[in-house]
Amino acid sequence: MPPRGSQGSCLLCRKTITKREAALHVKDCLESSGWPRGQNPSLLIAVQGHRMGSYWLLLLARQDSTLAELDSLIRDVWVECCGHLSGFTIQGQRFTRSAECSEMDMKFPLSRVLSPGVPFLYEYDFGSTTMLDLHVVDSHPVSPPESPLCLLARNTPPKVPCDTCGRPAEFRLRDDDGESCIHLCRRCVAAPDHDPWCIEVISNSPRDSVCGYEEDAGAAVTWYPPGWMHEDLIDPELEALIERIQ
Ligand SMILES: [Zn+2]
Ligand SMILES: [Zn+2]
Ligand SMILES: [Zn+2]
């Protein structure tokens, strides 16, 4: 069962919200956002990890935005590692996109292929696949101001305890054969007896620990509401620690 109480943040007012209340909350925030009202209502779309419901996003999409643009948002915020193939499955129909950026199959505007309430599926990388469940939650008269799609809310990182002290872990250490791993907090990872090549940062993504995936704050922030900066998405203390241990 997805943890419906899973916490996240509204990216409009920056308050902490739960997954359960997220859609209602962002609709209120959109009302007072001052964003333009489009000719056609925009779509409020929920995305979550398949069987990994603690990873979730809410986004606003103009009706004329395309599947390719939705694919780009998902890649930038959550899954892009090495340009794998991706695809949507909507009511039995497949729409795919290759690493060479052929957008042919994803050129369709969302209004042509999606309707409220109908679930659809996203897959990234048809080898070590990351699967996501999506659906249109609602429509809303407000449009994203600067881009066809805009992220409105996302989960806060699921809590993983440090295997040494129990505080929230931020790093993963794999053994040489990559079969087992431990999680460590930033204090315990600073102990000098770890092999720096085995240390990874735990990412806030359903693709965490798959195919060397690493979060890219610079790419993700391009889909955030106006006012968000690259620096808002990174923790300088953590960056400095990574520099030191790697
Ligand atoms: Zn809000
Ligand atoms: Zn990859
Ligand atoms: Zn610790």
CA pair distance 57, 8, nearest whole angstrom: 9
Check if the beta carbon of residue 185 is closer than 8 Å to that of residue 168.
yes
Question: What is the CATH T-level fold of the domain 7-155, as seen in this structure?
Answer: 3.10.290
pTM for the structure as a whole: 0.93
Rounded to the nearest angstrom, the distance between the alpha carbon of 125 and the centre of ligand 2 is 7
Can you read off the two tokens belonging to residue 113?
């292929």
**CB under 5 Å of ion ligand 2: residues:** 81-82, 211
Rounded to the nearest integer, the mean pLDDT of the chain is 92
pLDDT digits 0-9 by tens, 47-68: 999 999 999 999 999 999 999 9
Q: What six digits make up the tokens of 169?
A: 């872990």
**Residue 10 to residue 180: CA distance in whole angstroms:** 35
Q: What is the mean pLDDT of residues 180-186?
A: 92
DSSP label of 65: -
| Among the ranges given (27-31, 86-90, 121-125, 194-198), the one the predictor scored with the smallest mean pLDDT | 194-198
Measured in angstroms, how far is the CA atom of residue 99 from the centroid of ligand 2? 11
Query: How do residues 102-160 score in pLDDT, each as one tens digit?
Result: 555 888 899 999 988 889 999 999 999 999 999 999 999 999 998 999 999 999 999 99
> Which residues neighbour ligand 3 (ion) by CB within 5 Å?
162, 164-165, 167, 185, 188
Q: Count Cβ atoms within 10 A of the Cβ of residue 32 and give its class: 0-12 exposed, 13-18 middle, 19 or more buried.
A: exposed
Give me ligand 1 centre to Cα 58, in Å. 12
**Residue 20 C-alpha from the chain's centroid:** 17
Edge-to-edge, what's the strand order for the sheet holding 181-184? 181-184, 171-174, 199-201
Sorted by where each begins, the domain ranges of the chain are: 7-155, 171-245
CB-based contact 115:138 (threshold 8 Å): no
Quote the pLDDT of residue 113: 93
pLDDT band for position 178 (cuts 50, 70, 90)? low
Nearest ligand, CA of residue 167? 3
Segment 212-237, tens digit of pLDDT: 899 999 999 999 999 999 999 999 99
